[in-house]
Amino acid sequence: MDEVFKIGLIGYPVSHSASPQIFGEIFKNNHITKGSYHLYPIETLDNIISFVLEHPNLIGFNVTVPHKQNILPYLTSISEHAQKIGAVNTVKIIRKNSGISLEGHNTDYYGFEASMLNLPKRPNQAMILGDGGAAKAVKAVLTDMQIPYLSVSRNPNSDQLSYEDLNDHDWQENTLIVQTTPVGMFPNVHDTLNLPYQFLPNSTMAIELIYNPKQSLFLKKIKANDCFFMNGELMLQKQAEMAWEIFIQS
């Protein structure tokens, strides 16, 4: 791309994000000299259309918590994949004389799929902590891989478990725990979810979507049980690479 352009991340908070560094590497690897990546801390999406109009060089933006589902009503179109998941983390901006169009996509699917392929073995089942936009992508990947899962929420519906339920849970061998919530994310590094870590078999595996800090209190407790664990760095990298392809496609 020869013209000057911007890409960004909207969410709240966003100051912890590694996306500027990752996209900086993408720009470097693709010999892009006129592109830049920006963090936009946006608490609500009430003025998102005005925001896009006020940034004429913005070609698209990534979406993080708490807006992966909140963004849906503002989109002109949603990819089939994102529609199936019910959440969007990548928005491409189409600018024409008649106005702007916002295309919604979900690249979290590809990022989490890459993480799954880096596990030491195939899980027998999974337990998903949290029920936000990222959890929806996780569920889609697990469904496509035919791995059964349970979902845990602070406000569970009839199909979910509460964190209190986990105290009496029969933990099976080769269970994958996927931590999709922001609990323990910088700067709240001393927070963690209330799990009975002491009962986890050492065949348990864990993927946490947080990547700052690199090893949260949750992962430290998993590590203490001599279990395999992975943070969200690989997922972030792979979803960013896919988002870049979406941003630049004509």
DSSP label of 138? H
H or E element at residue 112: helix 108-116
Which DSSP category does 172 fall into? P
Identify the active-site residue in 6, 34, 68, 84: 68
Q: What is the distance between the terminal CA atoms of the chain, rounded to a whole angstrom?
A: 11
Is 28 designated active site? no
Rounded to whole angstroms, what are the CA distances from 120 to 106, 176, 204, 216, 234? 26, 11, 11, 21, 15
Q: Is the CB of residue 89 less than 8 Å from the CB of residue 108? A: yes
Q: Is 237 left (phi over 0), alpha (psi -120 to 50) or beta?
A: alpha
Q: Which two tokens stand for residue 95?
A: 């600018």
CB-CB contact of 87 with 70 (8 Å): no
Residues designated catalytic: 68
